[in-house]
Amino acid sequence: MARLPIYLRALTTLAEEAVTTVSSEELASAAGVNSAKLRKDLSYLGSYGTRGVGYDVDYLVYQVSRELGLTQDWPVVIVGLGHLGHALANYGGFASRGFAIRALVDADAATVGTEIAGLRVRHLDGLEEEVRKHGIAIGVIATPAPVAQEICERLVAAGVSSILNFAPVVLVVPDEVEVRKVDMSIELQILAFHEQRKLGPERHGRLNDAVAELADAVST
Amino acid sequence: MARLPIYLRALTTLAEEAVTTVSSEELASAAGVNSAKLRKDLSYLGSYGTRGVGYDVDYLVYQVSRELGLTQDWPVVIVGLGHLGHALANYGGFASRGFAIRALVDADAATVGTEIAGLRVRHLDGLEEEVRKHGIAIGVIATPAPVAQEICERLVAAGVSSILNFAPVVLVVPDEVEVRKVDMSIELQILAFHEQRKLGPERHGRLNDAVAELADAVST
DNA sequence: TTTTGTGAACTCCTTCACAGCT
DNA sequence: AGCTGTGAAGGAGTTCACAAAA
């Protein structure tokens, strides 16, 4: 149910605009999906709509939040406070969405001890203690790629079972640990791929090899 | 082919380790996918493997790069230089992967004129001029959510046809414009969902309504 | 013998289309 | 009359399993 957070965001926006009721058509277009898909997705949570009317916005916000586990606050640790970790620590979107950054950890002596977003950065040595002390279940890895796997293993050993990985590596974890990854280079590369396609039909792997062959055949 | 960048990263790592040949099995495990899937993906680019042997790493790096359009450098503009935009501008992974950040643009007077990662930040007013001057086709939006759609429209009007969006909104664009989005809150919410599942079987939408009903039926 | 490249089967997700409520 | 909830159809992507090539 990777789309629930998008629905929740659209619903929250509607609630702020004092909208009380929304149809699947309206909500779907706000979320950028097909309305049948939205209805099917919501139907997995239960029958929270009213036929002929639509969905009650506040009620649906609550139900979706509950399904996502956002009726409680999840304590989070950020490992690695370079530019990215710094940006993450300061990102306001977390607190308002059910997450509480409880610990910041870094290996760099110049960073350790500084205060970021109201929290003091602790040395990497204290990682396990911080995880246990705050009952942290979600770890964010914003370290350089070469150390990400090691940090990941330490997080898992300390009891973390969900990891959000910003380092450009494929993390190896036990089956019961959930990993999500965010890789900006990969997103840009996907865009570059589409840009290239737009430039013209020349040189596009096998498709164009076939075209070239055809052109050859025709010209002879 | 959203997986090609992952294969490319694995291949680049192998090349750095002076590995010359790799089997689909090995490359697939490095990329975290099934080997049949990897072979099928690569087969769309052409037949670049040798049966009984595997793939030549350097040759495959070249072919995948070419397919992704990374044999040329793509000029990029970053709009919004808060913590996140700052982090993106300083992220070294771009330059080494076929992208060149050519312009930085922000609306905040305190940020305009400062130098970030060797580039001077220009006022938002100059957005269109920067896009034209550098022939920019890819725009990165790292602004607050409320202005993201407006920035997006200006980028598109100026000629940008691919957008990487970090603002937590669904952007509306013409069909020919490609949008990729990165939303850290959404990734965390997906993790929270899985964390909650692990906590116990109580209260999980319709599945548990069914279980509860069954329990009722049994107890009566 | 080893490993690719790929038809065929399978599984999962999406969309249609409409019966059933309000 | 209007909109949800959902079976059924359709499509896309994944995995199997093996023939063909080195």
Say if CB A142 and CB A167 are below 8 A apart: yes
Q: From B57, B75, B197, B24, select the one nearest A4 (Cα to Cα).
A: B197
Distance, first Cα to last Cα, chain B: 55
SS3 A164: strand
Q: 């929740």: which residue's tokens?
A: A8
Cβ of residue B204 closer than 8 Å to a chain A Cβ:
yes
Give the pLDDT confidence score for residue A129 in this predicted structure: 98
Give the pLDDT confidence score for residue A218 in this predicted structure: 37
Domains, chain A, in order of start with CATH, read 4-68 (1.10.10.10), 74-182 (3.40.50.720), 186-219 (no CATH)
Max Cα distance, chain B (Å):
77
A49 CB less than 7 Å from any atom of strand D? yes
Q: Is A135 exposed, middle or buried (0-12, 13-18, 19+ CB in 10 A)?
A: exposed
Cβ within 8 Å, pair B93-A10: no
Cβ within 8 Å, pair A180-B187: yes
Report how far apart, in Å, the C-alpha atoms of B94 and of each of A170, B3, B81, B100, B101 are: 18, 18, 16, 7, 8
SS3 B22: strand
Residues of chain A whose pLDDT is less than 50? 202-220
**Residue with CA nearest C1' of nucleotide D6:** A40
Q: What are phi and psi of A163, to 5 degrees?
A: -130, 130
Say if CB A29 and CB A63 are below 8 A apart: no
Q: What is the pLDDT along chain B (220 residues), one digit of tens a residue?
A: 899 999 999 999 999 999 999 999 999 999 999 999 999 999 999 999 999 999 999 999 999 999 999 999 999 999 999 999 999 999 988 888 999 999 999 999 999 999 999 999 999 999 999 999 999 999 999 999 999 999 999 999 999 999 999 999 999 999 999 999 999 999 999 999 999 988 765 443 333 444 444 334 333 3
Cβ within 8 Å, pair A178-B170: no
Give the pLDDT confidence score for residue B215 in this predicted structure: 39
Give the pLDDT confidence score for residue B95 in this predicted structure: 84
In which element (H, E) is residue B185 found?
Answer: helix B184-199
